Each structure stands twice: as C-alpha cells, then as structure tokens.
Structure 1
Amino acid sequence: MDLMELIATRHSVRDYLPDPIPEEILEQILEAGRLAPSARNRQPWRYIVFTSNDDIKELSLRCGLIGLSNIFIRKAPCLIVACADTNYNVRINHQDYYLVDTAISVQQMVLTAWSYGIGSCWIAAFSEKTLKKYLQLPDSWRIVALLPLGYPAEKKTLYTQALSVFPKSKNRLPLDKIVTYYHKRSS
C-alpha cells in the first residue's frame, strides 16, 4: 500500500479481534513514534503500553465519567497511553509545543499500525486527573491521548455503528475550502 492509500483508508476502529499484536510489530509501531520530529528535537512524548487484557479493562474503569463512553477499549489487545513530559516542552511565540510534538508522534504510530493492518482509535474522552492519579504519573506529565490498537473485527457492534454515524468521520472538506494560495501583489 502506498502512502496516500494508507492515509486515505485509515479510519477509527472500535471493534477488535482478540489476537495479540506480535511483539516485533508493536516495536515497529513504537519506533515510528520515536522517530517523529519535534520542536528543537526535545521529544517530549512518553508512552505507557498495556498488552494485558485484564490491565486494559481495569484502566478503562479509571478514565472518569467521560471515559465511560470508551467501553470498546476493553476488547483491544493493546492500549497505549500517550503522554508528554512538559519538562521537555518548547515554547515559541507564547505557544507550547508538547501537544503538537506528541500528536505528530502518535499519528506516525497510527499510520504505521495501519500499514500492518492494525486499527486504532485516537481517544481524548477521559479524565486526565483521574487517569493520571491511577497511573501515578509525575506532575510534569500530561496525558495527550489513549490509543487502543488491534486487528479490526469484521462485525461491528451496535455501539460502534452508532458512533460511526454520529461524527460523519468519512466526510472531508474539499481542498478549495481549506487551502488558500498566497500571491504577492505587484505594486
């Protein structure tokens, strides 16, 4: 699969087969995140990897009230908690870059996973305070996202079907709505 096909076919997966992700593939996914660019090469990302279904189920109960909408993560054979250590943040023009840097790293993992046929779903619905306490994270760490990973199940649950309709996630704005070409005016 070429890069544009990989980007075009990637979608949020919420139903997973129980099959574990082979260790060498998981390592490649994490390596893709490690190789991401970051402001001043500070590399603020930190990852906590869960591969035990019992541990993933327990974590799913520790995401706070808002996190209850993510019950599907309980069936993922792998879950990555994507964090950023703000001690490695770069601030430019009053803008913190740890979120941008970590997001780039996570996206590289998402695309690498998909290249192996492994689905994912970027999750932001969780109580950072509750989850941070459960994981006993340092004060300088921020939780940026949860990333369940697994081979997609063919049959979607009713819950997943409903979630897929709600955001209309396949709809994309055309280029002419999001791109403006700058042309310097002649004097």
Structure 2
Amino acid sequence: MDAQELIFGRHSVRDFLPDPIPIDIINQILEAGRCAPSTQNRQPWRYLVFTENAKIRKLALNCGLIGLSNFFIHNAPCLIIACADLKDNIKINGQDYYLVDTAISFHQMLLYARNYGIESCWLAAFSEKKLKSYLKLPAQWKIVAMAPLGYPAEKKGLYSKAVSGFAKSKDRKPLETIVRFM
C-alpha cells in the first residue's frame, strides 16, 4: 500500500470480522507506535492491549454513560487503549505535550495496521474516571484514546451507517479554509 492510499483511504470502521489478529502483527503495530517522534524524546505513551473477547465485552460496559455509544467495540478482536504517563510529559510555552506525543504515536499505529488490512476507529467517548478506575491505572496516567482494531466486515451495520452520517465522516474542510500561505 502506498502512502497516498494509506492516508487518504483511512476511515473509521465499526464493523469487524471475528477473525483474530495474529500476535506478531499486533506487536508490529505496537512497534510502529514505539518508533514515533515525541517532544524531547520523552515517549509518554503507554498501551493497554486487549485480545480476549470476554475482556473487551466487560471493558465496553465500564466506559461510563458516554461510553455506551461505543458498544460496538465488543465485537472487535483487538482493542488498544492509548495512555500517557505524566511523569514523561513536558510542558513548553504552557502547553502539555503528552496529548500531542501520544496522539502521534497512536495514529502512527492505526495507519500502520492498514498495511495488514486491519482497520480501526479512534474513540474519545468514554469516562476517563470510570475507565481508569476499572483498569486500576496509576494516578499519573491519563487515558488519551482507544481504538478497536480488526479486519473490516464487508457491509456496514445500521449503527455504523447512522454514526457516519451523523458525524459527516467523509466531509473535510477545503484547503483554503485551513491553510494560510505567509
């Protein structure tokens, strides 16, 4: 897959085949995140990987009220939660960089997964307090995002169609709206 297809073909997938992702491929995806750049090479990211369906189903029930919109994750063969360890954060110009650094690493993983035909859906709809308590995470960790990963089903389910339509997932602002040449 070339870079153009990798980037421009990426979209949120919420319907997955039940086929497991081989652990060696999961490790390669994690390695892609490990190699990401970060501010002053702090590498604040930490990843929680779930590959057992029963654990993913239980986790789906512990994302808080807002997380109920993510009920579809229980069908994914893999779920990765991206966290940041604040002891590795750096603040520059009043800006915490753990969010930026972890987002770069996580996105790099999700793009890399596409090389294997694995798709995902970036999720931020969860109660960090409830999920952090359920996972018994250290106090200095922040949950940044999570994503189910899997081989996409051929057809989108009703929920996926509704969410994509509601979110206007394919709409992008024109370049002239977001870019200013100086």
**2:11 aligned counterpart, secondary structure:** coil
- Structure 1 stretches of at least 4 aligned residues deviating more than 4 Å after TM superposition: none
The separation in 2 between residues aligned to 1:104 and 1:94, in whole angstroms, is 20
Instruction: Report the structure number with the largest CA radius of gyration.
Output: 1
Determine the C-alpha separation between the residues in 1 that align with 2:156 and 2:106. Answer: 25
For residues 6-27 of structure 1, give each alpha carbon's deviation from its aligned partner in whole angstroms, at most 9, with x where no partner exists.
Answer: 1000100000000001111111
Counterpart CA distance in 2 for 1:23 and 1:5 is 25
Query: Could you give the per-residue CA deviations for residues 24-43 of structure 1, whole angstroms, max 9, x where no partner exists?
Result: 11111100000000000000
Q: In the TM superposition, what are the counterparts of 1:138-177 in structure 2 within 5 Å?
A: 138-177=138-177
* Aligned equivalent of 1:89: 89
User: For 1:23 and 1:135, how far apart are their aligned partners in 2?
Assistant: 22
Identical counterparts, % of pairs:
68
The separation in 1 between residues aligned to 2:154 and 2:61, in whole angstroms, is: 26
- Displacement of 1:142 in angstroms is 0.2
Find the aligned partners of 2:144 and 2:114 in 1 and give their Cα distance.
20
Q: Which residue of 1 aligns with 2:24?
A: 24
Residue by residue over 1:50-86, the C-alpha shift from the partner in whole angstroms, topping out at 9 and shown as x without a partner, is 0000000000000000000001100000000110000
Equivalent positions of 1:69-84 (< 5 A) are: 69-84=69-84
Number of the residue aligned with 2:40: 40
3-state DSSP of counterpart to 2:148: strand
Q: How many residues align?
A: 182
In the TM superposition, residue 114 of structure 1 has moved relative to its aligned partner by: 1.2
TM-score by length of 1: 0.96
Whether 2:62 is the aligned partner of 1:62: answer yes
For 2:150 and 2:53, locate their aligned partners in 1 and report how far apart those are by CA, in whole Å. Answer: 12
CA distance in 2, matches of 1:127, 1:57: 16
